Amino acid sequence: MGKKPRRNNYDSEFKISYSRINAYTFCPFRYKLIYIDNLHTPVNADISFGHTIHATLEKFHSQKGETWDFLMECYDDSWRSGGFLTPIDAFEYYLRGQKMLSKYFDTFKQSDAEILYTEKNFDANIGKYKFIGIIDRIDRYPDGTYEIMDYKTHAKVWHQDRVDKDLQLTFYAYACKTIFGFNPDRICIYFLSQNKKIYTKRTQEDVEKAINISMTAAEQIAQENWTPNRAHCQQCDFKYKCRNSICKRKYPTPPKSKEPKLQTKLVIV
């Protein structure tokens, strides 16, 4: 027999989110490692860089920024130095960020949309569970239409099919309707590295499917079902630490990095 759910944790305090649902559907045991055992994903350059760009844009827009100099000030203030292999590696990412933000700034100055929210938290009900999340940006255009977007900082732009199936955007659309009182007219992922938005739509059927996925995962989490999905071991950050990993059995000792990891603090003068 499976374990009974712990009522205090799962019935009154337990909250689900896209990140939790994504972790669980990827592999239930991965969820346990992150959210129960507190074994966090190692910080790397891409993670630090992504946090930096998100924090930069949040600070810039929350303070109604208008100038390039202020955007760069926000960038420097938001810079995270963890996860880079060398100071040169950090500097290359810094220059990449400057180029990315330059294109973003040009597009921002040409837009007639009003930025209503950045990094907007929401707390919605899905069945008996609370669903929490953060929408990167919500805009309103002069004609009264709304646009919601999710920032991505990696170099590769997704194909349309992947954007159409993105579960996070579906939860965004659900939150806008149930919490903020509007149906988004435009839904997109903003690929900042290419300064390109890929637009998509969400139907009520899409929302219902997303709710079913989240409810199923939440119920399994409440039952403490941590059955590992070994088909994803090769793509998992814990493949050399997890006791269920097939990679750990195949490679008892993790391959050594060619370069030592250095914690760097980048200072631009």
| CATH code, 133 | 3.90.320.10
User: Has residue 263 got a pLDDT over 70?
Assistant: no
Confidence of residue 173 (pLDDT cuts 50, 70, 90): very high
Rounded to the nearest angstrom, the gap between the alpha carbon of residue 84 and the centroid of all alpha carbons in its chain is 20
User: Has residue 46 got a pLDDT over 50?
Assistant: yes
Q: Look at strands 196-200 and 186-191 and give their pairing.
A: antiparallel
Give me the mean pLDDT over the 33-53 stretch.
92
Confidence of residue 1 (pLDDT cuts 50, 70, 90): very low
Q: What is the pLDDT of residues 130-172, one digit of tens each?
A: 999 999 999 999 999 999 999 999 999 999 999 999 999 999 9
Which pTM does this prediction carry? 0.84
User: Has residue 207 got a pLDDT over 50?
Assistant: yes
Task: Give yes or no for a contact between 34 and 40, defined as CB atoms under 8 angstroms apart.
Answer: yes
Q: Are residues 90 and 182 in the same domain?
A: no
In a domain, 53, yes or no: yes
Q: Are residues 133 and 154 in the same domain?
A: yes
Task: Give yes or no for a contact between 47 and 86, defined as CB atoms under 8 angstroms apart.
Answer: no
Q: Are residues 120 and 216 in the same domain?
A: yes
123 versus 40: the higher-pLDDT residue is 123
The predicted structure's pLDDT at residue 248: 62
What are the φ/ψ torsions at residue 75 (nearest 5 degrees)?
Answer: -65, -50
User: Has residue 252 got a pLDDT over 50?
Assistant: yes
Q: Are residues 130 and 216 in the same domain?
A: yes
Confidence of residue 94 (pLDDT cuts 50, 70, 90): very high
The predicted structure's pLDDT at residue 8: 41
Give me the mean pLDDT over the 108-112 stretch.
96
Q: Are residues 126 and 217 in the same domain?
A: yes
Confidence of residue 254 (pLDDT cuts 50, 70, 90): low
Full residue range of the structural domain in which residue 83 is found: 42-110+228-269
Q: Are residues 155 and 245 in the same domain?
A: no
Q: Distance (Å, rounded) from C-alpha 52 to C-alpha 71?
A: 12
Task: Give yes or no for a contact between 60 and 105, defined as CB atoms under 8 angstroms apart.
Answer: no
User: Has residue 91 got a pLDDT over 50?
Assistant: yes
In a domain, 156, yes or no: yes
Q: Are residues 119 and 218 in the same domain?
A: yes
Confidence of residue 237 (pLDDT cuts 50, 70, 90): confident
Residues in the chain: 269
Share of the chain above pLDDT 90, in %: 79
Eight-class DSSP state of 188: E
Q: Are residues 103 and 121 in the same domain?
A: no
